Structure 1
């Protein structure tokens, strides 16, 4: 079998923190998810990334792996287990093991149930009862569903088997949140319970709103006369349109808050409205005349205070 450098697969250093490993996994899992990736090797890369994260996210497994890696092994190098590895822990080939992970992974951790060094028992033996592995997946949802909740259809493949689930999304779910579905992971062995399914939420980009945690940001275009004279405008929010006052003399970039109009939760987020003054072109003689009259009437210098700057 071949040695797998799980740090290299995730693109992190061997001294990376748990948070760094998690961030690297999330980034690569989104990139190579078979449902969204156009890469020709997306499915195999997705499985490889998931296996690397499974090995490094747990401190005990990571310590066992680091102990082995200190022997100077390199990615893709032909691997022979050390003498004290444990009889029976060796794999017969380089293919996918019983659990959907590689034979190298199962040899190192003893297959489902996580035996580790010195145990060497692989699942499937007589009398072995083991819980199924947990499965990790990414679910992409649109912002209105994140706000109001709903049902999302999720297709799963690989180690969990090909299947489709209708997943209930709670109202107010945020980016990176994990939703756990008990018993929806890999089946157990010898009558053991199935593992769980952990879905990491990814919010799809929205044409109007940008989300930061539970807060929502909206850029609101207004006309010059609305900015100068003030106006009462209808502003879109995730919960529907609301009326908002634009004070007279408002400039581009002014930020106003609509309290509690972000994603719902124990402490609801807010919606921040960033004003953008949009100037219409002088496309007619009359429009140009009005601009010239405004110029003559006002002693306004938008660049005052910039004198002396180099």
Structure 2
């Protein structure tokens, strides 16, 4: 999908207040409304203005848009960077899947509203009501998924200041990470959502867990994959080797004549849980460099004495 500059569509600066955005929207709606403008481009302009306003009039959507769009230009191919929403706190039901090819859909469906109130809204009626639940995404290390633990996270919640501008308020919260938490699961922090009204209970905070990318491991559900380097003689002769894993070092048996890409399964060594995942060691044959005449001579001896053509099956 292509990036759209919603501020340009409405003809306002990025520093515009919510009132300025509303005034610009009303002016352009009157200009492009099909009842008063029969121009060839009026209908599309009317839709674009509505799409831009749908995002910018909402403090949470606007904050997300500003965070994502800071380094993009109109018409550029747009792909949200991984974990862009880490620590972004919002009210409502959580993220939803959006059409990856539709920029407007991405922001229209970013939040599952479920009847939520806008940030900074205060009820003028005096009644007792619980506070709204809040949601945010946290990124943990693979080691924390295996072992659990406790640490502080910084969350950023969009609010309106006194002049009607969207600002991000930060807060720090200590979170107990349960052992065996998996990607996409939620950690509930009781009472850390929005405050209640009239003495009502505060809402809860639900933290969606993402596992930080690790150069040594790949996570798929509760299963974990690692590339395991082995030497050519270990691949040819087989044997026992010692290898690191997220839960500690283990001994693995490499079978004779092992090929690159072969997976060795370690049952139950994935992310812990009621049904723990497995760990898969994917063999990767590493060729030693020639750094001495003796090493060169050994390679030349193998070339003479081992009758092997890895391309024999290609034909031709």
Report how many residues are paired.
222
The 5 Å alignment of 1:170-189 reads 170-189=178-197
Q: Which residue of 2 aligns with 1:222?
A: 230
Q: 8 Å contact 2:87–2:155 — kept in the other structure?
A: no
Q: CA 1:268 to 1:168, structure 2 compared with 1: closer, same or farther past 3 Å?
A: same
Q: 8 Å contact 1:186–1:196 — kept in the other structure?
A: yes
Structure 1 counterpart SS, 2:179:
coil
Runs of 5+ consecutive residues of structure 1 not aligned to the other structure: 12-26, 36-48, 63-96, 102-110, 112-121
**TM-superposed deviation, 1:166:** 1.3
Q: 8 Å contact 2:87–2:153 — kept in the other structure?
A: no
Give CA deviations for 1:141-186 in whole Å, capped at 9, x if unaligned.
1111110110021223436964322111111111111111121101
Give CA deviations for 1:56-105 in whole Å, capped at 9, x if unaligned.
443xx49xxxxxxxxxxxxxxxxxxxxxxxxxxxxxxxxxx8x526xxxx
- 2:256 pairs, out of 221, 228, 248, with 248
Runs of 5+ consecutive residues of structure 2 not aligned to the other structure: 1-18, 26-52, 65-79, 89-105, 160-168
- Could you tell me how far apart the structure 2 residues matched to 1:238 and 1:218 are? 10
Q: Which residue of 2 aligns with 1:190?
A: 198
Q: Which residue of 2 aligns with 1:108?
A: none
**Pair 1:5-2:5 in alignment:** no
- Could you tell me how far apart the structure 1 residues matched to 2:108 and 2:131 are? 15
Q: Which residue of 2 aligns with 1:209?
A: 217
Scaled by the length of structure 1, the TM-score of the pair is: 0.64
Structure 2 counterpart SS, 1:218:
strand
**C-alpha RMSD of the superposition:** 3.1
- Could you tell me how far apart the structure 1 residues matched to 2:299 and 2:82 are? 54
**Pair 1:148-2:147 in alignment:** yes
- 1:263 pairs, out of 271, 293, 300, with 271
Scaled by the length of structure 2, the TM-score of the pair is: 0.63
